[in-house]
Structure 1
Amino acid sequence: MRELFQADMKSLGDQLVEIAGLVHEAMSQARDAFENADVELAEAVITNDARIDYLQTALDEKAIELLALQGPVAADLRTVVAALRMSSSLERMGDLARHIAQLARRRFPDLVVPELAREDFRQMADHAVTVSGEVEQLLTTRDLQHASTIAKLNASINELHAKNFATVSLPEWNAPAATAVDVALASRFLERFADHGVSVARKVTYLMTGEWEPVIAAD
């Protein structure tokens, strides 16, 4: 019975890694669709989000079953509860990648972001893709250096997020109001994507240390 329980626990970790890999792929494709007005790629991201949702539901059902039938304690209990919370963050990251793709689809054949803000968004989206890759590696290896890298990337994204709102207020900004709204939404989606990455990093840190320590950015 104990061997079966441990196999189920390992399966939870494997499922988290699988979802994280799909989230990484989704954000990579969403970035490309967003930057290149690639409507077919945007459609793929939107469609494939259902797979992330399905896997999150399956993981949550398994975790709840383990809580109900196995009554885990101590470290095992922490792992199951953390898996539930991390799956929620990963699912939300998938949703945010889908939102970016939906903006690209809605504005096709035009680009969402005017030239004035395009470089900042390119950096922001690249950071978001890297965050998702670091989350996948963190869940795979449990190496907390990845958690530090996620925190550093999140700080950079926050700076760019603030800069995007300042850009919309510049005198040379002459895009219509609808474009300003889309720019604000896109920036917010990318900022929240990174926040959820930090949330996953904090929970892995908790599993590894037993403490709710802040995730410290790498130098």
Structure 2
Amino acid sequence: MRVIFNEEMRQVADDMEQMAAAVSAAITGAGKALLGPDLDAAQAVIEGDQVIDQLESSVIDQCVQLLAKQSPVATDLRIVVSTLRLAATFERMGDLARHIAEAVRRSYPDPPLPPEAHELFQDMQDFLDQMASRLVTMMADRDTKVAECIIVDDDKLDKLHQQTFDLALSDKWEGSKQQMIDLVLLARFMERLGDHGVSAARRVVYIVSGFDPSKDPKDLEDID
């Protein structure tokens, strides 16, 4: 029975690695679409979200079968249940990337952001691109050190997010009212991508170690 459980969990792990790669590609593609603006990149993200949804469904089905047939306990149960939550987190990240792409498609050929916002959003996207790459490494190696980097660095994105409000309210703002709405929404989508990246990282740390760190890895209190 143990051999069967390990084999089935390996398949789940493979699907989770594929999800991480698909989410990483969606985040990168959404940034390319936004900062272009690039309609082809936006459409690719929108269409690619179906792959992420299908992978989530596959993971859920496999985990439910494992719970039903194998009756896992202790560490095995922690891994299966946490994997379910991790799959849901990745699916939501795919949705957020799709929302960004849809905003680009909706406003095209006009850019959703005015020129004065480009540098700030480039900084936010650079951060998310790095996080996306880390997600892939984290899932492939179950690397808690990479996970902790994702958790700790999230404060940088929070500060950039705050700057988007400062820009919208400053005298430098020259964009339209629609662009102001898009700026607020897009910044929120990007900030939430960072938050979900932290959630995914915390979940991996929990799967590997049994601890659930907050943004301070020394603090093991669950802040869900």
> What TM bracket, shorter-length normalisation?
over 0.9
**Secondary structure, in 3 states, of the residue corresponding to 2:72?**
coil
Residues 192-203 of structure 1 correspond to what in structure 2 (within 5 A)?
192-203=192-203
Residues 1-219 of structure 1 correspond to what in structure 2 (within 5 A)?
1-216=1-216
Deviates most, 182-191 or 103-112: 103-112
1:145 Cα deviation after fit = 1.5
Cα distance in 1 for partners of 2:130, 2:13 equals 21
1:132 Cα deviation after fit = 1.6
**Secondary structure, in 3 states, of the residue corresponding to 2:109?**
coil
Aligned length: 217
* Contact kept? 1:116, 1:173, Cα under 8 Å: yes
| 2:222 aligned residue | none
Letter of the 1:70 counterpart: Q
TM-score by length of 1: 0.95
Per-residue CA deviations over 1:67-100 (Å, capped at 9, x if unaligned) read 1111001111000001000000000011111111
Cα distance in 1 for partners of 2:215, 2:76 equals 22
Measured at CA, do residues 58 and 22 of structure 1 come closer, stay the same or move farther in structure 2, by a change above 3 Å?
A: same
* Contact kept? 1:205, 1:215, Cα under 8 Å: no
The Cα RMSD (Å) is 1.3
TM-score by length of 2: 0.93
Per-residue CA deviations over 1:119-178 (Å, capped at 9, x if unaligned) read 110010121122121111111112212112212432111101000011100023132211
Cα distance in 1 for partners of 2:78, 2:140 equals 18
Letter of the 2:124 counterpart: M
* Contact kept? 2:152, 2:215, Cα under 8 Å: no
* Contact kept? 1:96, 1:193, Cα under 8 Å: yes
| 2:220 aligned residue | none
* Contact kept? 2:151, 2:214, Cα under 8 Å: no
Letter of the 1:26 counterpart: A
Q: Which runs of 4+ in 1 moved over 3 A?
A: none
